[in-house]
Amino acid sequence: PVARTRWRIAFGSIRVEPVYMVWGQVSAVAARMAVDAGVPVQQVDVLALRRELAANPLADGSTPEVLVDDGDSARVRIAGEWTRRSPEGKFGLTALAHEGSGTGEVRFLPEIARDGMYQVYLYWPRGTALATRVPVVIRHAAGSDTVIVNQREPEALQGGLQPGIASWVELGEYRFRRGEDAYVAVRGLGKDLVYADAVLFVAARGGR
């Protein structure tokens, strides 16, 4: 009975449609690679398959999104006193929090694979004690810009996708180049609570 229950739980989590779609795409790409290489699908180079899926996730040649989460130690630089918390509405496992005296900065460093225009989105868990004027610096190909973000009311910025709850909020559209210094920096002011959680870069259509 225990084994049967575990099987049902596992099946219940994988039978939803998005997982089916992912399986279908992976299977199709693997089958094409097997045909091209003239080998059984079991002998397809798994690392090569993963690289292709990462480079072309939509299978249409479009530029993939670039996500940087606070838990990615290779792509996040922390200055000042930030604590790792697990608030409701966080993205991923944790969010970095700055509160109290002093200042600080969390710098998200994207790995830009293709030159072009990108829409930049910021994510944080909402809370009534959050700061209302948080400086967010975007370093891009033409220099840098600072956007003042109201973290207490994320829907106040144009681009808030789900008013009233934590959501991706658009900071603007900027040009980025592969290999150049680029980042999004969330700054703590040493007073109200500030969250630094995740940043997303989405290639703009026709913006190369």
pLDDT of residue 71: 95
Quick one: pLDDT band at residue 14, thresholds 50, 70, 90? low
Lowest mean pLDDT among 96-100, 103-107, 158-162, 166-170: 158-162
Question: Which of 51-60, 141-150, 162-171, 186-195 has the highest mean predicted lDDT (pLDDT)?
Answer: 141-150
Q: Which residue has the higher pLDDT, 207 or 125?
A: 125
Nearest to 201 by CA among 147, 145, 140: 140
Decide if pLDDT at 102 tops 90. no
The phi and psi torsions of 143 (rounded to 5 degrees) equal 135, -135
154-166 pLDDT, tens per residue? 544 444 444 445 6
Quick one: pLDDT band at residue 120, thresholds 50, 70, 90? very high
Interstrand relation of 116-123 and 134-140 (parallel, antiparallel or unpaired) = unpaired
The tokens 């910025």 sit on which residue?
A: 157
Interstrand relation of 116-123 and 83-85 (parallel, antiparallel or unpaired) = unpaired
- Distance between alpha carbon 172 and the CA centroid of its chain, in Å? 16
Angle at 169 between CA 167 and CA 173, to 5 degrees: 150
Quick one: pLDDT band at residue 22, thresholds 50, 70, 90? confident
pLDDT of residue 58: 76
Tokens of 153: 């009311």
Lowest mean pLDDT among 25-39, 42-56, 162-176: 162-176
Nearest to 185 by CA among 132, 143, 122, 126: 122
Across the beta sheet with 104-108, what order do the strands follow? 76-79, 104-108, 183-188, 134-140, 143-149
Number of residues in the chain: 208
Decide if pLDDT at 10 tops 90. no
The tokens 């703590």 sit on which residue?
A: 188
Question: Which of 3-17, 118-132, 150-164 has the highest mean predicted lDDT (pLDDT)?
Answer: 118-132
